[in-house]
Amino acid sequence: MTKPAQHWKVRPHGELSAIDDGILTVVGAIRMPLGSFPRRMTVVRLRDSRLIVWSAMALRETEMAKFEAFGRPAFLIVPNDHHRLDAKAWKERYPQMQVVAPEGARAKVEEVVPVDTSAPDFGDPNVQFVTVAGMHDREAALIVHASSGTTLVLNDVVGNIRNASGISGWLLGLAGFAGTSARIPRVVKLNLVYDANALRDQLLQWADVQSLKRILVSHGEPIETNPQQTLRDLAGSLA
């Protein structure tokens, strides 16, 4: 695992851009010995223009200017204890941000940055923080309702890397993050999933959200073609 950054360190990334009304996202990469591992940061604007930052990445100043123009930084979500890389740097830059992490990840996250809560109050009924069932309370999700549809923001529980190639691509495929379809990574099943039935029920519950428009994952492409069926297929893979 890459060592958490002590200060603002910009790694390769693209542009921070809108994926829906009130939602920005940016894709970057973490260098590995045999290639790179894609990662995604998502920003959600609450109804009072406060911002939620999900799985933070240190960005270039041009992109940070876009971020600051979008709203007021308020919540910094570390969705599991493997996503701490830039959390300290973000808290140093925006000390007013409330740090959020699922309870089961809290101790590990606090090795890097103090956690304020595992049950945030966003003051906006259209945005919900969820601790994913069946995963030792270590994995979070975010549900964002809008007039255009619902976006489900997931972390490591689903991988959807489609363009992996070479040795690094083979390794990502072996781990279950890359392939021809979205999947629950093998390493996640081994290390985080302790109650497959509970996780399956969680996925099926999300699949019943008729307004679901897309799923954003921390590692891979957005899932925008029949996301409900994707969730049902993922649930079936746990049978």
Comparing C-alpha atoms, which of 211, 215, 219 is closest to residue 231? 215
pLDDT tens per residue, range 24-35: 999 999 886 556
> For 170-184, what is each residue's pLDDT tens digit?
667 666 676 778 999
Q: Decide if 3 is inside a domain.
A: no
Q: Which residue has the higher pLDDT, 103 or 37?
A: 103
Q: Is residue 5 part of a domain?
A: no
Number of structural domains found in the chain? 1
Inform me whether the pLDDT recorded for 160 exceeds 90: no
Neighbours of 67 (CB within 10 A): 18
Q: Would you say residue 104 lies in a domain?
A: yes
- Tens digit of pLDDT for each residue in 198-219? 999 999 999 999 999 999 999 9
CB of 127 within 8 A of CB of 144? yes
Domain span holding position 80: 17-236
Tell me the torsion sign for CA atoms 121, 144, 22, 73: positive
Question: Which residues lie below 8 Å from residue 225, measured CB to CB, with a gap of 6+?
Answer: none
Reported as type and span, the H/E element at residue 27 is: strand 23-32
Residue 33's pLDDT is what? 57
Predicted confidence (pLDDT) at residue 168 exceeds the cutoff of 90: no
Share of the chain above pLDDT 90, in %: 81
The verdict on pTM exceeding 0.95 is: no
Dihedral angle of Cα 5, 9, 10, 11, to the nearest 10 degrees:
-40
Q: Is it the case that residue 2 has pLDDT exceeding 80? A: no
**How many other C-beta atoms lie within 10 A of the C-beta of residue 196?**
15
Domain containing residue 80: CATH number: 3.60.15.10
Mean pLDDT estimate for the chain: 93
Residue 11 lies in a domain: no
